[in-house]
Amino acid sequence: MFQITDIPRILPEILLLVLALLVLGSDIFERWSYTDASRLERVRASAQLSTIGLGLIFIITLVQSGYLYTLPVDAPSNFLTNILRNLQAGGPGQGTISGAFATDDLTMIARLILIGAAFLTSMLCLDFHPTSNPAEFYALIIFSTIGMCLMAGATELVLIFLAVEMTSIPLYILAGYFGDKRSSEAGIKYFLFGAMSSAIMLYGMSLAYGFAANALGGNSTANDLTQLSKIAELAGEGNSLLTLSMILLIAGVGYKIAVVPFHGWSPDVYEGAPTPVTAFISTASKAAGFLVLFRLLTVAFPSLTGSANFGEELGGWTSMMAFLALITLIIGNLAALPQQNAKRMLAYSSIAHAGFVLLGLVAWASPQQFDRDQGTIAIVYYLVVYTLTNIGAFGGLAMVSMAVGGDDVRDLNGLARRNLPLAVLLAVSVLSLAGIPPLAGFFAKFYIFMVGWQSGAWWLVIIALITTIISLYYYLRLLRAMFIEAPASLEPVHAPAGMMTAVGVSVLGVLLIGIFPNLVLGIINRVQMVAGL
Amino acid sequence: MPAYLIPSADGLPWLTLLLLTPLLGMVLVGIAGAMRLDDRIVKLGVLAWTGVPIALAALITAGFNPNATADGQAALQFVEKIPWIDSIRVDYFMAVDGLSLPMVLLTVVMTPLGVIASWGVNTRVKTHFALLLLLEAAMLGYFVALNFFFFFIFWEFSLVPAYFLIQLWGRENRRYAAFKFFIYTMAGSVGMLLLFQVIYLATRYAGAPTFDLITLGRLGQGLPVEGVTGSLRDVIFNYMQHLGVAESLGRYPLLYTSIAFWAIFIAFAIKLAVWPFHTWLPDAYSEAPVAGSVLLSAVMSKMGAYGMLRIMLPLVPDAAQYFAPVMGGLALVGIVAGAFGALANISGDVKRLIGYTSINHMGYVMLAIAAAAALPGGASQDSRAIAINGALMQMVAHGLSTGALFYLAGALQQRTGSWELNGLGGLRTVAPTFAGVMGMAMFANLGLPGLAGFVGEFFIFRGAWATLPLFTALAVIGLIITALALLIMYQRIFLGPTGEAAQGFADLRPMELWSTVPFLVLLLILGVYPAPIMNLANAAATQLVAVFLQALS
């Protein structure tokens, strides 16, 4: 049952909701007219409000999580410690709320990733001016973030569906925000794919529910049959209905995380959407998708885990993940090679990165809990790194395309001579995507590969490594364009301060957690206790 | 800490300081860039700054005890060991021993020459010098890092500055050369990366997970390690049985160490340019800017040989012994082919010619490593240690002489405007100092007695004779052909009738002269009195080869 004491446990979501309404509402009090000056004023006000608000919520969430500082039990009681105590009482731990929403460490870390990504995205948008209705633009980002946080913690099918929709619908609008031909195409395409996948996912959910109701002999008075752990409890050995439901659910979530063969929408959407929105879609929404997938598979379908080893009979979702990872890695990396548009190239690169994360899920093929936990840690670490790196890369690209007016690879030509700091930041992000030590991307891959070995999917690790080498080609192409090629003009590229800060923060993060992985691994190590397992 | 790990006497993190100085220099260059200082001041500043690592390295050498051994291996000194990543047991582990200290010295000594060789750079000067310092830091880190994680980071990261040096300041074909160089090394090290992940998991299965190269080396050599029973071969084999791989591939422990051996060997052989993994080398050396050629040939190629001594021989001695004839054979082909490759370029590109002689000289190093590991044909520990000593000596001597040769070739090109050997001749009459200096560097390079190159080659042949007599006898061909190629090169530049290029050809400027003289002096001193290097390395080399005195497989 939901109790009044559960409210602090969903405090970040509540605060996000308040902030979103505040952003929408405060816009009414701005000066409305059609002059550029007044429009700029509205943009500024909304952007600053949402950036500051998201930053505050991030800090509150961090304090609540207790990762940096946990109040000792015997601390003296005064005004400050009382606030802190009440706040941290809603921190990670305890059971699920009504069986529907888990507030374990995984959710807490995911909230930090997602709210952090939203914060950086809105910071990128400080200087990236939406053409109309600025308040809605920023509010939609925040609404979508609420959906993502709910996705990360949802342990029940209906909430999962609602959260996925709540995430996606604002993103459809954001993708089509510019209203020009490409942007509209992106929005419509994203919407159509999303609607289709939702239908598939819903079908899988109804099958799972039907299976659970059936297993109880048609006793329809039970109202907990959509809970993931309940489905796992009722699952016997090798039920084909449940397998079908699982496949449909994977297909449904597969579109959110853009793994091959559910990736068709992503290059067009990434290319057409406003670049900060692309950064947001490719990082936060993907990370949330992975967490949903993780909870779905590990909590609801432990009986169908199977194995990804050669020589053993394949089956279950680990072999399915291994297969998806295989084609995702190969197609993602190969399709990126001939791209002329930098955004499209990064879109394919981001598809390929999804393949690496899937490799972490394959870790569940190992029967030992320790190996499985390593897999979870590797996934979360990868998501942190990937989010930071991609926001850096897309953010840098956004600045270039704002100044130069295009986002082809050749628009990057000679960037080093036109704006060296920007070129260096972008280069670090790209090198981290390529996995060059000592940047965080290297260690993330290192960890994922090790997890892959542990799970016995060594063939997959070798293929993943080969595709990594192939991927160097297109990453080096970006570097070459920036540092080697002659610029089209020597006019300096203007880099707005807000965007530069956002990109700088992400690049600094990439450097720091690459050289000192312990900084975040110490925290991520706590995800081992996942609710319902 | 076990007895074979000795922290520095005064508790200061000397090696970290050594590593951070070039990086700090980079930051200073950045500040200079922000202050818009004159390029010339930056050049002088960087040159002065490269003295700091030299001073630090000298202090480290002064505090280094070359004879310290403990628990069956040479003691590692100036140890710094701090837990870094708890979840996979990675330590920040830095130390030097007799194998790495000569390489550290070589690195710090060669960097100033690289800096001087870049004096003529006029485009993006600050970036160029920052990259040189970054390269120095990466190479130093590689030689002192003893945890695989850091070792690998420095290994890969050294590619980035080298790549940009070639790409941005190289010759016409630089794109192709830089790309090939990067991809070759990267692709080669993939197997090693995978291998160490497996080794980590295997040691975890055995109860003591580690990426520690020294611990793994002790395991490989069968020396006692706390928490593990049996050698690394057993550890890997047990894990393969546990995985079920042994059921399908066969129950031969040597098979798995052999796979490990090839994974390591290919990674380092590419860097060392062992035939047939050498094809990137002539391109990279000849297309790189002069500073790039100097550092690439003098230090970076030694990274491969050092890796073999540090990782390959201790970790998989049985497979190294088993495949020693193969290594010896590849070395021999490299020696002869490198020599003939040089001979083929006597009327072509001077940098390519020197590049090919490098392949030849690195072949000797490979031969020495193979000989140290080869089956006991009655060869004593001494012969094997002599081969390793010779290899280290050869690495140092070749670094000094090839660095100087590339530098002088750069000076030659500045004057004539071309890298071609055609159309030169008779320059000795107009530039006698130039001819003398280059002659001495060349003679050191081809191994004339009295100069350091001879000592290295002599020791290698003496050591290799005991285990691989046939290969050694045939390798002498390479000596002669290289000498021939280098002599013809010299003849075409300096002797004979005076060519067109001689008109207005300036002799060495004082700065050019004084920047090469220290290297020639070092070559001469080490040629007459090689003890400083030999003493540093001897204990480490002797302990390293102890395991090979018996038939291992």
Overall average pLDDT of the A338-357 stretch: 93
pLDDT confidence tier of residue B327, bands split at 50, 70 and 90: very high
Q: Is the dihedral of CA B458, B368, B395, B301 positive or negative?
A: positive
Statement: residue A402 has pLDDT above 70: yes
| pLDDT at B286 (0 to 100) | 86
Residues 6 or more apart whose Cβ sits within 8 Å of residue B545 = B313, B372, B373, B381, B384, B385, B387, B388
Where exactly are the structural domains of chain B?
Answer: 1-272, 323-547
C-alpha B548/C-alpha B97 separation (Å) is 20
Overall average pLDDT of the B443-470 stretch: 89
Average pLDDT taken over every residue of chain B: 88
Q: Across-strand partners of B70?
A: B73
Which residue in the set B152, B179, B244 is minimally distant from A311, CB to CB?
Answer: B244
Statement: residue A497 has pLDDT above 60: yes
| pLDDT at B419 (0 to 100) | 83
Q: What is the predicted ipTM?
A: 0.79
Which residue in the set A450, A469, A483 is minimally distant from B168, CB to CB?
Answer: A483
Overall average pLDDT of the A238-267 stretch: 88
Percent of chain B, pLDDT > 70? Answer: 99
| pLDDT at B361 (0 to 100) | 92
Overall average pLDDT of the A431-453 stretch: 90
Overall average pLDDT of the B246-264 stretch: 87
Where exactly are the structural domains of chain A?
Answer: 305-533
Determine, for residues A438 and B153 on separate chains, whether the beta-carbon distance falls below 8 Å: yes
| pLDDT at A508 (0 to 100) | 95
Statement: residue B423 has pLDDT above 80: no
Overall average pLDDT of the B388-406 stretch: 91
Total beta-carbon pairs less than 8 A apart between chain A and chain B = 71
Q: Across-strand partners of B91?
A: B83
Statement: residue A213 has pLDDT above 90: no
pLDDT confidence tier of residue B553, bands split at 50, 70 and 90: low
3-state secondary structure A405-443: CCCEHHHHCCHHHHCHHHHHHHHHHHHHHHCCCCCHHHH
Residues 6 or more apart whose Cβ sits within 8 Å of residue B491 = none
> A181-195, B96-110, B168-182: which has the minimum mean pLDDT?
B168-182
| pLDDT at A531 (0 to 100) | 61
| pLDDT at B337 (0 to 100) | 92
pLDDT confidence tier of residue B290, bands split at 50, 70 and 90: confident
C-alpha A430/C-alpha B302 separation (Å) is 29
pLDDT tens for each residue of B95-117: 999 899 999 999 999 999 889 88
| pLDDT at B52 (0 to 100) | 93
Overall average pLDDT of the B539-549 stretch: 87
pTM of the predicted model as reported, rounded to 2 decimal places:
0.87
| pLDDT at B339 (0 to 100) | 92
| pLDDT at A57 (0 to 100) | 96
| pLDDT at A290 (0 to 100) | 95
Statement: residue A311 has pLDDT above 60: no
Q: Which one of B29, B82, B88, B151 would you mutate to disrupt binding with A, by most A Cβ within 10 Å of its Cβ?
A: B88
- Neighbouring CB atoms inside 10 A of A156's CB total 25
Question: B-chain residues within 8 Å CB-CB of A450?
Answer: 88, 197, 200-201
Strand order in the sheet with B76-85: B5-6, B76-85, B90-96
Statement: residue B531 has pLDDT above 80: yes
Determine, for residues B194 and A480 on separate chains, whether the beta-carbon distance falls below 8 Å: no
- Neighbouring CB atoms inside 10 A of A4's CB total 6
Statement: residue A135 has pLDDT above 60: yes
Statement: residue A324 has pLDDT above 90: yes
Question: B-chain residues within 8 Å CB-CB of A528?
Answer: none
Statement: residue A312 has pLDDT above 70: no
* A424, A431, B351 from A441: Cα distances, Å: 16, 8, 37
Question: B-chain residues within 8 Å CB-CB of A461?
Answer: 194
Determine, for residues B164 and A453 on separate chains, whether the beta-carbon distance falls below 8 Å: no
C-alpha B548/C-alpha B320 separation (Å) is 9
Overall average pLDDT of the A197-207 stretch: 93
| pLDDT at A220 (0 to 100) | 63
Average pLDDT taken over every residue of chain A: 88
Query: Which of these, A517, A91, A6, lies nearest to B86 by C-alpha position?
Result: A517
State which residue of chain A sits closest to B156, comparing Cα positions: A437
The answer to whether A31 contacts chain B (CB < 8 Å) is no
